[in-house]
Amino acid sequence: MSILDNIVSATAQRVAREKAESGDIPEQKSVRPFIFEQVLNGTEMSFICEIKKASPSKGVISEDFSYIDIAYEYTNAGAAAISVLTEPEFFLGANHYLTNIRKAVDTPMLRKDFIIDPFQIFQSAALGADAILLICAILSPAEIEEYIHIADRLGLSCLVEAHNESEVKTAIAAGARIIGVNNLDLRIFEVDIENSVRLRNLVPDDIIFVSESGIQTAEDVTLLRKNGVNAVLIGETLMRASDKKAALRALRGNPL
Q: Is residue 123 part of a domain?
A: yes
Task: Assess whether 50 carries a catalytic annotation.
Answer: yes
Summarize the confidence of residues 214-224 as an average pLDDT: 93
The answer on pLDDT for 111 being more than 70 is: yes
Domain that holds residue 43: 31-251
Domain for residue 209, yes or no? yes
Q: Looking at residue 246, which CATH number applies to its domain?
A: 3.20.20.70
**Options 83, 112, 157, 183, the catalytic residue:** 112
The reply to whether 112 belongs to the active site is: yes
Active-site residue, selected from the candidate residues 30, 37, 46, 50: 50
Comparing CA positions, the residue from 204, 196, 207 lying closest to residue 233 is 196
Query: What's the Rg (C-alpha) of the chain?
Result: 17
Within-domain flag for 22? no
Q: Find the catalytic residue in 37, 73, 161, 167.
A: 161
pLDDT grade, residue 188 (50/70/90)?
low
Q: Which pLDDT belongs to residue 139? A: 98
Catalytic, 212? Answer: yes
- Write the pLDDT tens digit of every residue in 206-215: 999 999 988 9
For 50-101, what is each residue's pLDDT tens digit?
999 988 878 888 888 899 999 999 999 999 999 999 999 999 999 999 999 9
Q: Is the pLDDT of residue 116 over 70?
A: yes
- Is 244 one of the annotated active-site residues of the chain? no
Are 177 and 158 a contacting pair, CB within 8 Å? yes
Note the pTM of the prediction, 2 decimals: 0.94
Confirm whether 9 is domain-assigned.
Answer: no
Domain assignment of residue 214, yes or no: yes
- Is 161 annotated as catalytic? yes
Query: What distance in Å separates the CA atoms of residue 51 and residue 148, rounded to the nearest whole number?
Result: 24
Residue 213 annotated to the active site: yes
Does residue 113 form part of some domain? yes
